[in-house]
């Protein structure tokens, strides 16, 4: 089973070997494959101003290989929404201690889709919800392409638009605020058959996660794991 690791300031040194492949993968995926040429850099790594010490990464590792990832930036720090796309949010960018901005979610091409074993993208969506609950978040802001909306709807992510979609570089893009709550997390766990929290907090202490999600309901006889 792939593992989802929380990587942040305090334990980043334990994952140092993963960062170069991670930034190269981002370049392959976003610049070469998706052709987001504004992110191109001559060194073949896709790194931007939101990759800072405050950024939290979820790394999905399988047998030691990085097969997917996502990043979360506290909205009290600069974010994509505050610095690049403020016009996407009618009431202005979100700056709240209980909301992190999600971006750069990807799965390597050979592990995408239903045929590739456990759905890595669903695992990441479940894991970030567990992370949010664990540190007391109530929401995630996201600047995303509108094709995500039906996907979120299908898996139970509750996304509230913050403004109208705009065409940016040929893509329909909007800003949303997604609820981070235990009900959503438990529903996701059931959908993918998880019966316990999935995150690996290697090298992190309880200071880094104040709240442990209550998984008792996952074991309740009235709740059946998804088949």
Q: Which residues pair with 103 in a beta bridge?
A: 71
Stretch in the footprint of ligand COA (CB under 6 A) among 77-85, 100-108, 156-164, 183-191: 100-108
Contacts of 207 (CB under 8 A, 6+ apart): none
Q: Which is nearer to ligand COA, 72 or 107 (CB)?
A: 107
Total residue length of the chain: 227
Cβ contact 69:105 at 8 Å: yes
Cβ contact 178:139 at 8 Å: yes
Cβ contact 139:89 at 8 Å: no
- Binder of ligand COA out of 58, 73, 107, 135 (CB under 6 A): 107
- Binder of ligand COA out of 51, 101, 121, 130 (CB under 6 A): 121
Stretch in the footprint of ligand COA (CB under 6 A) among 77-85, 91-99, 104-112, 132-140: 104-112
80 binds ligand COA (CB under 6 A): no
Q: Give the DSSP H/E element, type plus range, for residue 182.
A: helix 182-192
Q: Which is nearer to ligand COA, 168 or 215 (CB)?
A: 168
147 binds ligand COA (CB under 6 A): yes
Q: Which is nearer to ligand COA, 6 or 143 (CB)?
A: 143
- Smallest separation, CB 98 to ligand COA (Å): 22
- Distance CA(181)–CA(147), nearest Å, equals 23
51 binds ligand COA (CB under 6 A): no
- Distance CA(214)–CA(216), nearest Å, equals 6
- Distance CA(148)–CA(81), nearest Å, equals 17
| Residue whose structure tokens are 């998804």 | 226
- Smallest separation, CB 7 to ligand COA (Å): 18
- Smallest separation, CB 203 to ligand COA (Å): 27
Contact letters for ligand COA, residues 184-213 (x by CB under 6 A): ------------------------------
- Binder of ligand COA out of 12, 24, 96, 112 (CB under 6 A): 112
- Distance CA(85)–CA(145), nearest Å, equals 13
């Amino acid at each position: 089973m792939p593992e989802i690791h929380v990587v942040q300031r305090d334990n980043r040194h334990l994952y140092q070997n993963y960062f170069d492949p991670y930034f190269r993968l981002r370049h392959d995926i976003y610049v070469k494959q998706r052709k987001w040429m504004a992110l191109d850099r001559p060194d073949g790594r896709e790194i931007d101003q939101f990759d800072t010490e405050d950024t939290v990464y979820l790394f999905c590792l399988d047998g030691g290989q990085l097969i997917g990832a996502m990043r979360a930036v506290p909205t009290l720090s600069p974010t994509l929404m505050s610095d690049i796309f403020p016009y996407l949010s009618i009431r202005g960018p979100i700056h709240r201690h209980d909301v992190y901005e999600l971006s750069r979610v990807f799965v390597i091409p050979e592990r995408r889709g239903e045929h590739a074993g456990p759905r890595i993208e669903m695992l990441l969506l479940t894991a970030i919800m567990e992370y949010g609950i664990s540190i007391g978040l109530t929401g995630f802001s996201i600047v995303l392409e509108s094709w995500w909306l039906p996907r979120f709807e299908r898996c139970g992510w509750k996304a509230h638009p913050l403004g109208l979609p705009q065409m940016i570089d040929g893509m329909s893009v909007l800003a949303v605020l997604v609820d981070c709550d235990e009900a959503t997390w438990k529903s996701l766990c059931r959908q993918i058959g998880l019966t316990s929290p999935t995150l690996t907090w290697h090298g992190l202490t309880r200071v880094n996660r104040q709240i442990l999600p209550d998984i008792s309901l996952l074991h309740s006889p009235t709740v059946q794991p998804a088949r």
